[in-house]
Structure 1
Amino acid sequence: MVYVASEMERQKFEVPLLIGGATTSRKHTAVKIEEKYSSSVIHVIDASRCVGMVSKLLNPDHKKELVHKTKKEYKTIRETFYQNQQKLKILPINEARNRKPNLVYNPFQPQNPEIQKIESISLNELKDYIDWSPFFHAWEFKGTYPGILNDSEKGVEAGKLFNDAQNMLASLIESKSLTVKAVFGIFPAQSKEEEVHLIKNDITFNFPRQLIDKGNKPNFCLADYISPNGDDHIGVFTVTAGHGLEKLVEQFESDHDDYNAIMVKVLADRYAEAATEWLHEKIRKNEWGYDSNQIYSKEELIREKYQGIRPAPGYPSCPDHAEKDKIWKLLDVENAIGVSLTESRAMWPTASVCGFYFSHPESQYFSVLKNI
C-alpha cells in the first residue's frame, strides 16, 4: 500500500486513495501511507463501507470538510505515534526470549490428524453461527446486535436492513447459490524459539516475538504455545464462502441494483466468518478433541470463551502475510477448494479466511507491536 501511494504520487494522480481491509488501521494509514501521497488518503475500516465514503467524496461540500478533517486527524495520530515511539524501550531478542511466558505443556493428541476437505457446508446450518454486529458495522451502523434493533435513533432503519438481510439469506439457502468449502489439517509440530517446525513436513512457520519492554509481563510469541519436546500439534485451515458470489454480484449490478450487490458481498463475508467459527468448533470437539465436552452459547462463541485460538497471517500476532504461502503449500489449498493467492497474498474469492489452530489452554491473542 505504501508502494501504491508512492506510485500514485510519482504518476501525479489526484483521485482519493481509500485504504481498507481487516489488516489495516487508521494509525498505519496515517503513519506509513498518508504522507506518501499529496492527494487525499482515507482509511475505510471495511470494503463494504466504501460506498458511503465515496458518496461523501463525490459531494464537493462534504469532500472538502472530510479531507480537511481527515488530514488534521492523521497529523495528530502521527505526532502521538512518534512521541510514544521515543518512550518505548525495545529489548534485544535474547532478553525478550528470557521473558517468554512460563507454560506447562501437556499436549492433547488429535483424533483425526490427516488433511481433510469439505466440499460443501450447509448454509442453513451456518446461519446460526453468524455474528451480526459486524454486518451492521459494514453498513455504518454503530452498535451491537441485537441491541441495535431497539436503539431509539437507529432501530427502525437497522430493523429494515436486518429484514432485508434475512430475506436474502433465505434466498441464498434455498437457491444454494453460494458454496462454502473448507480444507484443514492437524500436524505434528515442535517449537524452537520463534519457529514452529512441522515434524513430518518440510515446512517451518515463523512467528515474531514481542520486543517491547513490558516490565514484569511476558513477551509473547505464538511459537510459545507449541511444546518444544516434539510431542505437540498445530492446525492450519482455509475456508471460503466466495464460490458463486461473483455471479450473484454481476446479476445485481446488471440490474443496477447496487444495494443488493453490496448486501450479498457483506453476507458472503459473514458466511465466511461463520464457517470459520463452525469449523473451529468441529476441530475442538471432534477432529482434535481437546475441548470435546464443553458446550458454548452463541454469545460465548462470539466472545471466544473456548480453549484455543485461531490467529491468521496478517493479524497482530502474525503480521507477515508470507506465512500464507506455507499454508497453501501444506494444504494444497487452490486445488482443494479453489482459493488462490494474489501477488500481494490477498485471497480470491475474497470471502475467504485462513489461519492456524493452537490448542494450548493458556494461548491468547496479542499484538507483537504493542504492550499487550
Structure 2
Amino acid sequence: NIVGVVLRCNAYEVIDLGVMVPAETILKRAEEEAVDIIGLSGLITPSLDEMVHLASEMERRELRLPLLIGGATTSAIHTAVKIAPTTKCPVIHVVDASRAVGVASDLLSEKRSKDFIAANEEKHDRERRRHASRQHAGKLLSLSEAKANAPAFDTAGKAPAPKTIGRQIHLDYPLEKLVECIDWTPFFHSWELRGRYPKILDDEKQGETARSLFADAQAMLRRIVDEGLLQAQAVYGLFPAARRGDDIQLFDPDSHQETLFIPCLRQQRGRKNSLNRSLADFVAEADDYVGCFAVTTGHGLEALVAEFEADDDDYSAILAKALADRLAEAFAERLHFQIRTEDWGYSQETFDNEGLIKESYRGIRPAPGYPACPDHSVKPALFEFLGAAEIGMSLSENHAMLPAASVSGFYMAHADSHYFGLGLITQEQAEDYATRRGMKVEDVQRWLQPSLAE
C-alpha cells in the first residue's frame, strides 16, 4: 500500500490488483494496460514460489518488462538466485517503499536505465556468490547427529500444571486494554522510519515526521476505541501435551484422546559448543502442557478502510491497517501475559509494557511461519483444533491469516524455552518431516523452500 501511495504522489499511475492474485491475472492485466513495470509484494513463504512462477511466465510470453520484488518475506539473495535466472527481464529487489520511486525513475529513464540494469546484474552476481558461500559455510549435521546433539530436558524447569485447562474464547475484548500494550517501534518501521520509539520522536532527521505521524495515529486510535470500529476476538487454551520424538502431541483434557499434532524441525548446523534445538525440546515426554492461540483485531477494518478509500484518503486507509496490525500484536502480547499470570499461573510478574516488548519474561509463543517454525502449513490443523472459524478467522489458499490483522501460535513455558532460528536443514530432514506428517515430500519442499540446503 505504501509503495502505491508513494508512486502515485510522484505522478505514477498505479494499478493495484490486491492480494493473492494469480500470475495469469497479473500478466493479462499488464498486457491489456500496456504497463511499464510490474511489481510484486510477498508477505508469506509460498508467495516466493509464486514470484518465480510469474517471472517464468513472463519469459514464456516474452513479456519484456522490469519486475520489482519486495515485501517482508523477500530478500536480495532469493531474488538473485531463484527469480532473476528464470527471465531475461530486469528483476530488482526493492528493500523498502522509500526507494520505489528512484528505482522506477532509473528504469524508465533513457539515459540511466542501461547503467542501472547493469549495476543490478552485478548485484545479483554478488548475491549468488554470497549464497554459494553460505551453502558451504559450516557443516550440516545428519539428522541423527543433530538429534544426538539436542539439549537434555531439565525437569526442574518444567512449569506447574495450569490453573485453567481447555479452550477459551474472547468475543469482544476491550480495545483500551490493548492500547497500552502496543509496541510502536514496528509501527514506525512500517512507514520506513527507522529508529526505536520513543527516541525516534526526537530524532534530528526523522523526528518531525515521526511526531506528525504519531499524532495522526493517536487521533485515529482514539476514534477506533471510542467508536468501537474494530473488534478484538481470541480463541485459545492450554492443553495436556507430550513430546513425541521431534514432535509434540496434544490431548483432550477430559477424554485424554490425542488431538492436535504439532510437527517440529531441528537445527542441523554444526557449530562448536552449540546444541541443535527443536521446539519439541521444551516439552516433557509425559505430563506436560502446551498452549495454542489465535487472535484478531481485523473485524471492522474493511469497512473503515472502505470509508477512507471512498474519500480518496489513501493515507488514512494505510494508517488504519497499520494500527489494526499493531493492535493484533498487542492482543497477542496481552493474552500471553494473562496466560502466564492467570491461566497457567506460573509467573507473579506485574504488567510492564517495556518488559513485554523486550520479552523479559519466562515462556515463548512461537508462530508458524517464523524462524523456529517456518512451516505455514501447520496453521490449518491449528485453526481447526481451536475452532478459529467461531471468531471469523480463516486461512487463504497459501495459509495467510484472514483477517490480515491476526496472530496465531503456541505457548511454551519451560524455564529454558527461548526463540531461535532453524537455519538450513537437509533433504534428509525434509523427507523425515514429510513422513511424520503424512505429506508428499514435494509439498514439504514447497513450504520449507527457504530453509532447504541445496
* TM-score for both structures, normalised by structure 2: 0.75
Q: Give the alignment's Cα RMSD to 1 decimal.
A: 2.3
Q: Which consecutive unaligned segments of at least 5 residues does structure 2 have?
A: 1-47, 253-257, 426-454
Contact preservation (8 Å) 1:249, 1:265: yes
Aligned counterpart in structure 2 of residue 32 of structure 1, from 78, 82, 92? 82
* Residue 290, structure 1, aligned to residue 290, structure 2: no
Farther off after superposition, 361-370 or 6-15: 6-15
User: What residue number does 1:208 align with?
Assistant: 265
The whole-number CA distance in structure 1 between the counterparts of 2:300 and 2:119 is 40
2:364 aligned with 1:313: no
1:9/1:38 contact within 8 Å kept: no
Q: Check 1:85–1:240 CA distance in 2 against 1; reply closer, same or farther (3 A cut).
A: same
Return the alpha-carbon distance in structure 2 between the equivalents of residues 71 and 143 of structure 1: 31
Who is 1:268 aligned against? Answer: 324
- State how far apart, in whole Å, the 2-side matches of 1:35 and 1:61 are: 19
- Structure 1 residues 311 and 97: alpha-carbon distance in aligned structure 2, compared to 1, 3 A threshold: same
Partner Cα separation in structure 1 for residue 362 and residue 322 of structure 2 = 29
- 1:264-301 CA deviation, whole Å, 9 max, x = no partner? 1111111111111011101111111111x112522211
Post-superposition shift, 1:26? 4.0
Q: What secondary structure, in the 3-state scheme, does the structure 1 residue paired with 2:131 have?
A: helix
Alignment partner, residue 54 of structure 2: 7
**Paired position in structure 2 for 1:339:** 393
Aligned match of 1:220 in 253, 266, 277?
Answer: 277
Instruction: Give SS of 1:188's match.
Output: strand
Residues 362/42 of structure 1: CA separation in 2 closer, same or farther (3 Å cut): farther
Tell me which residue corresponds to 2:205: 153
CA contact (8 A) 2:94 2:100 kept: no
Q: What amino acid is aligned across from residue 118 of structure 1 in structure 2?
A: H
- Is contact 1:235–1:357 with CA below 8 Å preserved after alignment? yes
Distance 1:120 1:76 in 2: 51
Query: Once the two structures are superposed, what CA deviation does each residue of 1:24-52 show, in whole Å capped at 9, x if it has no partner?
Result: 4444444333433443545567xxx65x4
1:130 maps to which residue? 182
Alpha carbons of 1:10 and 1:307: their partners in 2 closer, same or farther (altered >3 Å)? same
- The number of residues matched between the two structures is 363
Q: Is the 8 A contact 2:297 2:325 kept in 1?
A: yes
State whether residues 5 and 37 of structure 1, in contact with CA within 8 Å, keep that contact through their aligned partners in structure 2.
Answer: no
| Structure number with larger C-alpha Rg | 2
Percent of aligned pairs with the same amino acid: 39
> How far does the alpha carbon of each residue in 1:185-210 deviate from its partner, in whole angstroms, 9 at most, with x for none?
11111102211011333331111000
The offset of 1:222, in angstroms, is 0.2
Question: 1:59 and 1:253, CA in 2 relative to 1: closer, same or farther beyond 3 A?
Answer: farther
Contact 1:177/1:244, CA 8 A, preserved across alignment: yes
Deviates more, 1:341-350 or 1:62-71: 62-71
Q: Under a length normalisation based on structure 1, what TM-score does the superposition of the two structures give?
A: 0.90
Unaligned runs of 5+ in 1: none
Deviations 1:318-349 (A, max 9, x none): 11111101111110111x21011011000111
Choose between structure 1 and 2 for higher RCO, CA contacts under 8 A separated by at least 6 residues.
1
Does the 8 Å contact 2:231/2:297 carry over to 1? Answer: yes
Distance 1:332 1:36 in 2: 41
Judged with a 3 Å threshold, the aligned counterparts in structure 2 of structure 1 residues 98 and 254 are, in CA distance, closer, same or farther, namely same
- 2:186 is paired with a residue whose SS is helix
Counterpart of 2:67 (choices 1, 6, 16) is: 16
8 Å contact kept, 1:191–1:197: yes
CA contact (8 A) 1:324 1:345 kept: yes
Are the aligned partners of 1:168 and 1:264 in contact in 2 as well (CA < 8 Å)?
A: yes
CA distance in 2, matches of 1:175, 1:88: 55
* Structure 1 partner of 2:146: 96
In the alignment, the residues of structure 2 paired with residue 120 and residue 27 of structure 1 have an alpha-carbon distance, to the nearest angstrom, of 43
Counterpart contact for 1:311–1:365, Cα < 8 Å: yes
Is 145-154 or 97-106 further displaced after alignment?
A: 97-106
Q: How does 1:316-327 map to 2 (within 5 A)?
A: 316-327=371-382
8 Å CA contact 1:6, 1:37 repeated in 2: no
Gap change, CA 1:193 and 1:146, over 3 Å in 2: same
